[in-house]
Amino acid sequence: MSSHAPRKPSPAAAGAAAANDAASAPDLGERRLYLNRELSQLAFNIRVLDQALDERTPLLERLKFLLIFSRNMDEFFEIRVAGLKGQIALDHELLGADGMAPRQTLAEISAVAHRQIERQYAILNERILPELATHGIRIARRDQWTHRQKQWVRRYFREEVAPLVTPIGLDPTHPFPLLVNKSLNFIVQLDGVDAFGRDSGLAVVPAPRVLPRLIRVPDDLAEGGDCYVLLSSMIHAHAEELFPGMDVLGCYQFRLTRNADLALDPEDVEDLALALRGELYSRRFGNAVRLEVADNCPKALSAHLLKQFGLAESELYEVNGPVNLARLFRIASQVSYPALQYKPFVPALPKALKRTEDLFAAIAKQDVLLLHPYESFAPVVDLLRQAAKDPQVLAIKQTLYRTGADSEIVDALVDAARAGKEVTAVVELRARFDEESNLTLASRLQQAGAMVIYGVVGIKTHAKLMLIQRREGSELVRYAHMGTGNYHTGNARLYTDYSLLTSDGVLCEDVHKLFSQLTGMGKALRMKKLLQAPFTLKQGLLGLIAQEAAHAAAGKQARILVKVNALTDPKMIRALYQASIAGVRIDLIVRGMCCLRPGVPGVSEHIRVRSVIGRFLEHSRAYWFANDGDPRLYLSSADLMERNLDRRVECAFPIEGKKLQQRILAALELYLDDNSGTAELQADGSYHPVARAAGEAVRDVQQQLLEKLCGAEA
């Protein structure tokens, strides 16, 4: 042995070294390493609101971002805040990895939400509405109505509104009414004695749900441009007509937000569709979680409403404008102002599908990858239509999550069933806020002769899969579509998602096995290529992350690039921390919630987290691993959340050809170079917009992809 060869340490020394290493290793279970899930989701909503201030965005699109913030906040209160309040009410408070108790989280939410909602109305009143007015789009307030407009409003109120309104006086025989979730209502102060001698002094006026909240003034009265009047303004102006002989001292709009989550106990459900119909009704009248009132409402009346609904003062939101802002989407969707909207574009078709009428032949030659909305969703619909008409097609199987009962996809499945094909649809009835639509489409498919399966009780079917079985000569050949997004043609124009069309025998066999698990009963089947939740997806991804850490420790090429909507699963976060500690460079593109804390010295200093918000909703999920020069890439329907990985049917499908892999990687790199709609997550949980250096060109990833894939200009 050479005298310069290192000595082998004694067992005692080796043990001491290992103990020292263990002592110096960070505790990856420390609460400080995890961000609160609800506050992270709230931060995403704030980033959406920020887009309403971006002067580079067309004005009506800025209004849309402001209104999307309203919708997001509605759902946030209906689901997340309601969930926290439910834990407290049941004395069953659960601590997340961040260690924050529900009461503390609610207090933080209240402080942040009050600031941001006040900011939202300030942006609307001080920026958006004045700018819209310069373009001839106005919402006329009562004090702005001309004499002729007042006459028209009075006539409209008397003919269209008053006959449908049911004012409710509050007295012992008329207790406070049960109000529908998010409905527009008015609390009215009265003076006088009615025909029956009652003088309670208070009444409630629910606005009829069948009436539009925003009414367009006739052109001859608009005085140029487009003029609108709010239903709430009409009711305010003519409240006295609803209480003849009484003096109306005040009329104030309010809106109540309720718990809208559905609670189904799998052990008590015999007929899922029947149980769900019952729950849909109860959603309208769940426990109160938030009260919005006009900011001129007297404190005594606000306190009275809070008491009626069992809410604390911290759950009161006083707003300077309509309490139901989402109704302004009618203005935001105006088609007569192209200069104030994004320029339209025509989604492209890949070369493999151009000048071909036989989609089966094209897919048999090669896998086809589509990136929506830049590339058309039409090939997916057309493939299904072709299958419905093709006498060689014997069977079609498909999962449906958010589709719409009247969609082209459902039309094609109905046609296929009526043509005698074996059509099986796995319809997830519990897609949140789409439950009623899914019940309707399930009924429609059943009436056409399709076999409708409701998935697995207690585990949502979120995977996006379609399988077509076709007789070709003496063989039975399978074709599959796998996607990261829903079978919804409207969303395919608004969401970024990937579609893979393939005839790969092994992959199609895996899809067949997954459908067999959903429709039948038996043990989990072994997949050769697919990773599926709740069985192999989580462990598969953890294994790929650990493999990158091992490569980095060995001095080999190691990098992880992930794009998802949310990252909240503690096990996944710990695995990413361990990979970072090993030296793996990790880039995470996380649109919404992210509980991982990047940039913590010694733990996550090699991790960068970016969020991109723009014209299209970033919805695609991709998992890329360098694997020492032999990349592994999966596209998936699953986010890195416990619910997706542990309590849903999800799948991740591999992209194996170098050409397709490189195409996806190139797109992901564009997201990392974006300096337009990108914010970077900091170690303290805040997001900082990526700043451009002086003279640096604007790099907008969505616009770059529009130009590259479908030639659309800015």
Three-state DSSP class for residue 213: coil
Phi, psi dihedrals of residue 557, rounded to the nearest 5°: -60, 130
DSSP string, 372-440: ETTB-SHHHHHHHHHHHH-TTEEEEEEEESS--TT-HHHHHHHHHHHTT-EEEEEE-TTSTT-HHHHHH
Integer Cα distance of 322 and 334 in angstroms: 19
DSSP letter assigned to residue 160 = I
Closest by CA position to 161, among listed 227, 207, 218, 221: 207
DSSP line for 35-103: --HHHHHHHHHHHHHHGGG-TTS-HHHHHHHHHHHHHHHHHIIIIIIHHHHHHHHTT-PPP-TT---HH
- DSSP one-letter string for 297-340: S-HHHHHHHHHHHT--GGGEEEESS-S-GGGGHHHHT-SS-GGG
Strand partners, 469: 395, 478
Q: What is the token pair recorded at 57? A: 């965005």
5 with 541: CB under 8 angstroms? Answer: no
Instruction: Find out whether 619 is annotated in a ligand binding site.
Output: yes
432 is in an annotated binding site: yes
Active-site annotation, residues: 462
Residues belonging to the chain? 714
Residue 72 assigned as binding residue: yes
Q: H-helix or E-strand containing 702?
A: helix 701-710
- Sign of the CA dihedral with 634 first, then 635, 640, and 642 last: negative
Contact 185, 299 (CB under 8 A): no
Residue 1 host element (H or E): none
At 619, phi and psi to the nearest 5? -125, -15
Tokens of 354: 């151009």
One-letter amino acid of 305 = L
Rounded distance between C-alpha atoms, residue 518 and residue 463, angstroms = 11
Kindly provide the residue ranges of all beta strands, DSSP E only, lying in 541-606, ordered along the sequence.
Answer: 559-564, 585-590
Bond prior to 373 in cis (omega within 30° of 0): yes
Query: Residue 279 has which token pair?
Result: 């729950």
CB 538 within 8 A of CB 645: yes
Could you tell me the two tokens for 467? 């399988």
Give the span between the Cα atoms of 564 and 550, in whole angstroms. 24
Query: What are the φ/ψ torsions at residue 620 (nearest 5 degrees)?
Result: -75, 150
Q: What is the distance, to the nearest Å, from the Cα of residue 91 to the centroid of all Cα atoms in its chain?
A: 30
Euclidean distance between CA atoms 221 and 204, whole angstroms: 32
Given the DSSP bridges, would you call strands 617-618 and 607-612 parallel, antiparallel or unpaired? unpaired
Cβ-defined contacts of 508-517 (< 8 Å, 24+): 508/467, 508/478, 508/479, 508/480, 509/478, 511/465, 511/467, 511/478, 511/480, 511/482, 512/397, 512/467, 512/478, 514/463, 514/465, 514/649, 514/651, 515/397, 515/424, 515/426, 515/465, 515/467
Residue numbers belonging to the annotated binding site for ATP: 72, 495, 591, 619
Binding-site residues from annotation for Mg(2+): 402, 432
